[in-house]
A and B are shown apart, each in its own frame.
Chain A
Amino acid sequence: DAKTTQPNSMESNEEEPVHLPCNHSTISGTDYIHWYRQLPSQGPEYVIHGLTSNVNNRMASLAIAEDRKSSTLILHRATLRDAAVYYCILRSPSGTYKYIFGTGTRLKVLA
């Protein structure tokens, strides 16, 4: 599975937008980009995923670069509850079903 690179940590003020970057320069044309987050003392939970086009759901937006070598998870208005570790994961249809978790980005939200 292709590798992803994320900053170790980021900070944001409450109610401000947050842009969490992910680099995946070795992504293949069929790899899906998935985002999960892990709140304190909980298992990871699904946030969003996409292939080529930008995606929106009730939790977040996913902006995918035109060359697909990077993507950005956007939280439109951070709340204290969004403090978590955010994982960017590539899923390959030619690979396995496994989720290979990288180090993730620890997001701290300041009140």
Chain B
Amino acid sequence: SAVISQKPSRDICQRGTSLTIQCQVDSQVTMMFWYRQQPGQSLTLIATANQGSEATYESGFVIDKFPISRPNLTFSTLTVSNMSPEDSSIYLCSVGGTGMNTEAFFGQGTRLTVV
């Protein structure tokens, strides 16, 4: 199993500013994943972060808007840049589940409101 801590748990930010979300895992993992969950919606994968390489972004998400760092095997950050109200969402970090018979673990999420 894996325990994931995300910080902050919530924040209210002004439009045009940036917020960096931290994700700490209690064990070393190769891949870390970042998801976005818009209000009342399901989860959408933003990007995959591997230690020592650039993150891989899904269609519709770009590095300039969502830069990701992965400095070691237990930590990652996601920055939401130049925020607008449309970025108001829950952002979740996840690890594991890379095998068909393995489970994924998710953080509690960061609830972001942009005003």
Contacts and interface: CB of A to CB of B under 8 A. Distances in A.
Interface string B30-63: 0101000000001111001000000000000000
Contacts of B43: 44, 99, 101
B20 interface: no
B98 interface: yes
A97 B31 contact: yes
B98 A49 contact: no
Contacts of B45: 98-100
B5 to A, nearest CB: 11
A77 B48 CA distance: 37
B35 to A, nearest CB: 8
B2 to A, nearest CB: 11
The binding surface of chain B is classed by DSSP as: strand
Contacts, number: 51
B101 A49 contact: yes
Interface residues of A, number: 23
B42 A101 contact: yes
Interface in B72-104: 92, 94, 97-98, 100-101, 103-104
Nearest to A102: B42
Contacts of B33: 98-99
A45 B92 CA distance: 12
Given A98-B45, A98-B48, 18 more contacts: A32-B100, A32-B101, A34-B103, A36-B104, A41-B109, A42-B108, A43-B4, A43-B107, A43-B108, A44-B43, A44-B104, A49-B101, A49-B103, A93-B100, A97-B97, A99-B45, A101-B42, A101-B44
Interface of A: 32, 34, 36, 41-46, 49, 85, 87, 91-93, 97-104
